[in-house]
Structure 1
């Protein structure tokens, strides 16, 4: 049995999971009120909270953020395999071998896919980027679906005909929302990659040692 408690061993995950739940609940409450205000202003009747949870307004707003985050993390995981940034704590070394590039070897404590070998180990070797890709595609599809539903709800309030999904896919407002989120995620990657060259945070695995030279690449 571990000498550390469950909460200590999983503190980082539990902390951010708790923040996620709290902020999601807050989003639901304020999103519901905001959506009802919009509906009332356009001459409609407010909806119940239970109805809001499967409305286009909620689905679109939620998965619009999810998909950009999964895109960011997936691209970051994949592109750091081959691309480098001199001096960054987030980059692999420019010329030294890294443990993450070693070929997996079966052992007693290795993950089951490594011991299984063959196709399983090939899939497992790329499972992190595959998982982020799947999460991104699901979130993007749900964002599209939610935005389409919300768009048609607005069309109804304006006494306009509903648009098909194919027609809405060419709507500039959907792509404006999409690229607005993507560009902010790419900027945040640039910030952590570049700022970790010159700035430090004592005790953080995302920072180089405080006394490390600026041009030292990697942690």
Structure 2
């Protein structure tokens, strides 16, 4: 890849690359802080500390990571599907008020209205079109369910380790799914995600961020809906 091509690649993909790099840095920071906190808890119980590599392979680290992942994927799954029908007057996070619903094939450039540069499945008119037309929300839903399942598996392992350290009987996976620990981990994340989405939807009606597609143009009226800056 030539130098101009490399610069173009970084320019054209800077949003994904920046957030991807930020994710890895924050994940590393979480691992360091979590390792220290976990060893402090072991010391209080009179147990030997874990090496950093052992902590990275532990259920305690895995459950802390996956419980946050599943809430984020849930947020986007609900937001993607919810904004098909739900509206917020004056918000750039909402569609225009007259466009509630899945919209027509003409509006969505599907079937006979697909263009030469449209994705190939958009113009097929069969099951591929129906699948592709819902692929983003479907993938987010699958990622949510997979990460939630991973949280339940790693969560029961971490919970049972804590039970054994306290000389109590471990529980099975089914019992853990009905436990307060599992639902507390899930619900405390879900409520924060729902609050953040609601705040973004209503605050973007009245507040602006110049140059951001998540905001309306600075001079746009508060009632302008579905307009990005």
Q: TM-score, normalised by structure 1?
A: 0.93
Q: Classify the secondary structure of the residue corresponding to 1:206.
A: coil
Task: Give the Å deviation of 1:218.
Answer: 1.2
Aligned residue in 2 for 1:162: 170
Q: Classify the secondary structure of the residue corresponding to 1:81.
A: helix
CA deviation string 1:113-170 (max 9, x = no partner): 2244411111000000001001100110111111111111111111222111111112
- Separation in structure 2 between the aligned mates of residue 58 and residue 172 of structure 1, nearest angstrom: 19
Note closer, same or farther for the CA distance 1:2–1:40 as it changes in structure 2 (3 Å cut): closer
Does structure 1 conserve the Cα–Cα contact (< 8 Å) formed by 2:87 and 2:97?
A: yes
Task: Give the Å deviation of 1:36.
Answer: 1.4
Q: Classify the secondary structure of the residue corresponding to 2:84.
A: coil
Aligned residue in 2 for 1:178: 186
Higher relative contact order (CA 8 A, sep 6+): 1
Aligned equivalent of 1:207, options 201, 204, 215: 215
Task: Give the Å deviation of 1:108.
Answer: 3.0
Does structure 2 conserve the Cα–Cα contact (< 8 Å) formed by 1:57 and 1:147?
A: yes
Residues matched between the structures, number: 219
Aligned equivalent of 1:32, options 35, 51, 58: 35
- Separation in structure 2 between the aligned mates of residue 73 and residue 195 of structure 1, nearest angstrom: 18
Q: TM-score, normalised by structure 2?
A: 0.89
Equivalences for 1:18-57 in 2 at 5 Å? 18-57=21-60
In the alignment, does 2:18 pair up with 1:15? yes
Note closer, same or farther for the CA distance 1:109–1:4 as it changes in structure 2 (3 Å cut): farther
Moved more, 30-39 or 67-76: 30-39
- Separation in structure 2 between the aligned mates of residue 57 and residue 15 of structure 1, nearest angstrom: 28
Aligned equivalent of 1:142, options 131, 144, 150: 150
Aligned equivalent of 1:190, options 176, 198, 221: 198
Aligned residue in 2 for 1:78: 81
Aligned equivalent of 1:59, options 59, 62, 70: 62
Aligned residue in 2 for 1:127: 135
- Separation in structure 2 between the aligned mates of residue 39 and residue 79 of structure 1, nearest angstrom: 44
